[in-house]
């Protein structure tokens, strides 16, 4: 019997896919629309689960589990990766993620792990966004170029040694398309943007992901754009597939299909939603399979769509499954033989360390850094993040982790590092009924006396958010499923953080975070949450700040490690309540400064802050994002000069949130945001980052060269340390009939230098990078009369410039 065409690897892909689709029944094709795709044994189609996360390392989470069940290499959060400004590194980071996804795919029956939902490349026009840690900054050129490199590395396709030009290692789905930058009401809010802002800013970053990164998938956003839900936006088909040439399939965001009816109220029935989504270009739906298949059947029966609409979606999905190697002998797909030993191997570990080191940004330094282990004396290491590493919701499970305190102790002589806890120690009263007491099984009672009452460390996260950890057991106070209080949580982590409480600053009373809880008292004298909300009050025993001050007075240098908790005061579903330092951080730095002037701030956070007053209390400040595996090592390496920090900020750090427009205003031009239009003083500008050495720029030249401009200059390391410089090229447009950017990034390179080394740095800027969107003609065009190229170390540190007049 002759082999069917779809099983013949020698035939063209489109021919093979068309042959397979023609053999499938309508019911079988409908079964491919959900993300849990059924097997079709008669056609040798295996079952497969679409989806998985790889934001900064593969997240191996089995269905229904929250905490990752399998280890994988973990990198800094994406906002930290964007601070590397290193395209080549990003390609290797993607390669690690794709390789480890293949390890799990090959090991676990080849039923999932290869179609991942990353990277997040929503434009970060506002630091109050709850998911800031997930994306790559405020500039579409920077974010787009880094994302394209990451995607190339993860998918394969001939970009790295060993890649295959046809078979893919994994597939990436950049998200969320598009205008998605607010968490409140994200399921139905409408992003209002002009055609110009849309094309120049919100779409541009996705364009790089597809035209340069060759992404094979895409995830749409929950929100509407100008009144049209993204899941039914025809721009998916017209732009992503049509203009940018996406060769794979489009997936909706989780649960968004039903929200078209229940939240957007855009459609009256799910059948209508299905027809509109498929016609708009969406092919696959992460939602209850029964709902999806029934909606598709109803849409066909009601004539809302025809078989051709269904065939297009199934064809797009099958194209990727063919390129994953699911229909061919293993020996044809080189990724089928990636061994388990590649998981968390030495090479991957080294790449993760390099990424952590390169993401460190030196915000300010009066010369105290780098610290000399032989002369810095006794060092106090304090702060909420001194001896912890923190995962976020999209973190994988690293094989190991190192805290800043552990790494600093590894650098300094034994006995020269001191640390104290800065948390307040308290007991909890229950109005008129005794003290909170925790039993051995974690049950919380309120009949304790002064001898039996439990003692808690209060973790104060600012903005009234706090958590309480019992000293004896190390467990966090939490809300249990039956609505009572318990003390059974090992950590404050999960999609729902039931360990989080809202505390009144003045009275000390606090209430659980959550929705609706039972009224009254439960059996056996245990208080329900609703009753507790009226009766709990923390009573201070010892002041953590005073402990820190006493220790600082007897030490020579103080390293303060502060930063956000990734699941508190901003995360998916919740925007940030503010961008200033929590009041407790401010008090800590002020009091430390009173007894010791040698304070170095290490800020470990997935978000920018505004802290101009607090910055005056420290001699130096480092910033890096969370990244469990090597965060401590990278921080210590930067503090003690084992590396020369060269990270650069990918977002503008403003002086005050009062300088920002309303978070729901997406018009970055007329209501200025980002370095391109923001016209107010800032604390740290886009592209900012200091070094332990100095760089001199000279000889900038620019000239027309074919379809663009060739720009070059000379850069010299004029200091005593070797290190990287991130050379940044900006363009200033003159004579435009519309408001143009103050300046616009159009080139960047991270380059290593030895002391006194001189290098020539060259860029090619295509004409199209300087075009603005002409709303009258609905296209990009050269609207400027002249252009000035500026080159330097940041958006606000321009070293050389040259102007070119446009002829004609």
Active centre residues (catalytic): 253
SS3 181: coil
| Rounded-to-integer distance, Cα 728 and Cα 792, Å | 5
DSSP run (H or E) holding 701: strand 695-705
Token code pair at residue 706: 């074919």
Which residues have C-beta within 8 Å of that of residue 757, sequence separation ≥ 6? Answer: 716, 717
Which of 766, 573, 791, 617 shows the shortest CA–CA distance to 687?
791
Structure tokens at 147: 């994302």
Question: Which tokens in the block code for residue 128?
Answer: 């109050």
CA distance 663 to 661: 6
Backbone φ and ψ for 540, nearest 5 degrees, come out as -70, 135
Give φ, ψ of 484 to 5 degrees.
-100, 165
How far apart (Å, rounded) are the C-alpha atoms in residues 251 and 37?
Answer: 13
User: Which own/partner pairs from 485-489 qualify as long-range (CB within 8 Å, at least 24 positions apart)?
Assistant: 485/444, 485/512, 485/526, 485/527, 485/529, 485/532, 486/442, 486/443, 486/444, 487/438, 487/442, 487/443, 487/444, 487/454, 488/442
Q: How many CA atoms lie within 13 A of 541 on its CB side?
A: 14
Neighbours of 806 (CB within 10 A): 15
- Per-position DSSP letters for 556-617, written without gaps between them: SEEEEEE---TTSSSBTTB--S-SBPPHHHHHHHHHHHHH-S-EEEEEE-SS--B-HHHHTT
Distance, in Å, from the CA atom of 268 to the CA atom of 228, rounded to the nearest integer, reads 15
Whether the upstream peptide bond of residue 176 has omega within 30° of 0, thus cis, is: yes
Q: What are phi and psi of 763, to 5 degrees?
A: -130, 150
Task: State the DSSP string of 207-262.
Answer: HHHHHTT--SEEEB-SSEETTEEGGG-THIIIIIIIIS---SEEEPPTTHHHHHHH
The CA distance from 141 to 670, in Å, is: 20
Closest CA to 746 of 718, 775, 766, 772: 766
Q: What are the residues facing 733 on neighbouring strands?
A: 787
């Amino acid at each position: 019997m002759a082999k069917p065409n779809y099983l013949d690897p020698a035939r063209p892909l489109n021919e093979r896919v068309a042959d397979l689709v023609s053999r499938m029944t309508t019911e079988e094709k409908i079964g491919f629309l959900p993300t849990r795709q059924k097997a079709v044994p008669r056609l040798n189609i295996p079952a497969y689960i679409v989806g998985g996360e790889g934001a900064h390392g593969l997240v191996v989470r089995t269905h229904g589990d929250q905490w990752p069940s399998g280890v994988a290499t973990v990198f800094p959060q994406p906002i930290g990766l964007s601070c590397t400004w290193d395209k080549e590194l990003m390609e290797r980071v993607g390669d690690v993620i794709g390789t480890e996804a293949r390890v799990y795919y090959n090991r676990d029956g080849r039923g999932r792990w290869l179609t991942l939902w990353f990277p997040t490349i929503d434009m970060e026009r506002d630091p109050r966004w709850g998911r800031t840690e997930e994306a790559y900054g405020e500039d579409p050129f920077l974010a787009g170029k880094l994302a394209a490199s990451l995607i190339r590395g993860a998918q394969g396709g001939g970009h790295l040694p060993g890649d295959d030009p046809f078979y893919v290692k994994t597939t990436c789905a950049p998200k969320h398309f598009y205008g998605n930058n607010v968490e409140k009401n994200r399921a139905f809010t409408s992003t209002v943007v002009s055609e110009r802002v849309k094309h120049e800013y919100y779409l541009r970053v996705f364009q790089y992901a597809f035209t340069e990164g060759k992404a094979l998938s895409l995830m749409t956003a929950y929100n509407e754009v100008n009144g049209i839900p993204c899941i039914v936006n025809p721009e998916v088909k017209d732009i992503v597939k049509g203009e940018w040439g996406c060769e794979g399939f489009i997936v909706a965001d989780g649960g968004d299909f039903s929200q078209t009816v229940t939240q957007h109220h855009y459609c009256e029935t799910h059948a209508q939603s299905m027809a509109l989504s498929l016609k708009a270009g969406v092919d696959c739906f992460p939602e209850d399979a029964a709902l999806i298949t029934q909606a598709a059947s109803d849409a066909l029966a009601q004539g809302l769509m025809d078989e051709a609409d269904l065939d297009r979606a199934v064809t797009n999905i099958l194209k990727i499954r063919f390129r994953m190697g699911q229909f061919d002998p293993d020996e044809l797909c080189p990724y089928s033989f990636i061994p388990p030993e590649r998981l968390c191997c030495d090479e991957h570990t080294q790449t993760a360390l390099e990424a952590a080191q390169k993401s460190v940004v030196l915000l300010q330094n009066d010369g105290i850094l780098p610290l000399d282990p032989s002369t810095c004396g006794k060092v106090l290491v304090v702060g909420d993040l001194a001896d912890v590493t923190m995962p976020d919701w999209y973190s994988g499970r690293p094989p190991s982790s190192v805290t800043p305190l552990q790494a600093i102790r590894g650098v300094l002589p034994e006995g020269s590092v001191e640390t104290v806890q800065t948390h307040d120690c308290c007991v909890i009263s229950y109005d008129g009924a005794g003290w909170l007491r925790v039993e051995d099984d974690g049950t919380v009672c309120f009949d304790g006396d002064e001898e039996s009452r439990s003692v808690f460390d209060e973790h104060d996260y600012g903005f009234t958010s706090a958590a309480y950890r019992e000293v004896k057991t190390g467990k966090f106070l939490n809300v249990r499923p039956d609505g009572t209080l318990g003390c059974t949580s090992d950590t404050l982590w999960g999609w729902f953080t039931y360990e989080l409480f809202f505390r009144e600053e003045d009275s000390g009373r606090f209430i659980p975070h959550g929705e609706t809880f039972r009224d009254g008292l439960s059996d056996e004298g245990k208080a329900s949450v609703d009753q507790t909300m009226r009766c709990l009050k923390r009573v201070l025993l010892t002041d953590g700040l005073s402990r820190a001050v006493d220790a600082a007075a007897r030490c020579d240098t103080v390293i303060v490690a502060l930063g956000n908790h990734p699941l508190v005061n901003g995360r998916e579903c919740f925007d940030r309540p503010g961008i200033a330092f929590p009041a407790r951080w401010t008090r800590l730095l002020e009091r430390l400064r009173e007894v010791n002037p040698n304070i170095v701030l290490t800020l470990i956070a997935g978000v920018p802050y505004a802290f101009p007053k607090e910055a005056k209390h420290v001699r130096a400040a480092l910033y890096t994002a969370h990244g469990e595996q090597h965060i401590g090592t990278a921080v210590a390496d930067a503090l003690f000069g084992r590396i020369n920090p060269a990270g650069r900020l990918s977002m503008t750090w403003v002086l005050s949130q009062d300088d920002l427009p309303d978070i729901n205003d997406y018009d970055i031009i007329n209501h200025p945001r980002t370095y391109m239009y923001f016209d107010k003083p800032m604390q740290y500008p886009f592209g900012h980052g200091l070094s332990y050495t100095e760089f001199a720029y000279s000889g900038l030249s620019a000239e027309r060269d074919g379809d663009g401009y060739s720009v070059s200059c000379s850069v010299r390391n004029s200091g005593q340390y070797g290190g990287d410089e991130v050379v940044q090229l900006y363009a200033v447009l003159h004579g435009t009939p519309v408001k143009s950017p103050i300046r616009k990034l159009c080139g960047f390179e991270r380059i290593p230098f030895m002391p006194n080394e001189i290098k020539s740095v060259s860029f090619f800027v295509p004409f199209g990078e300087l075009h603005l969107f002409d709303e009258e003609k609905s296209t990009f065009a050269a609207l400027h009369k002249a252009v000035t190229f500026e080159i330097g170390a940041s958006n606000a540190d321009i070293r050389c410039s040259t102007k070119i007049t446009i002829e004609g």
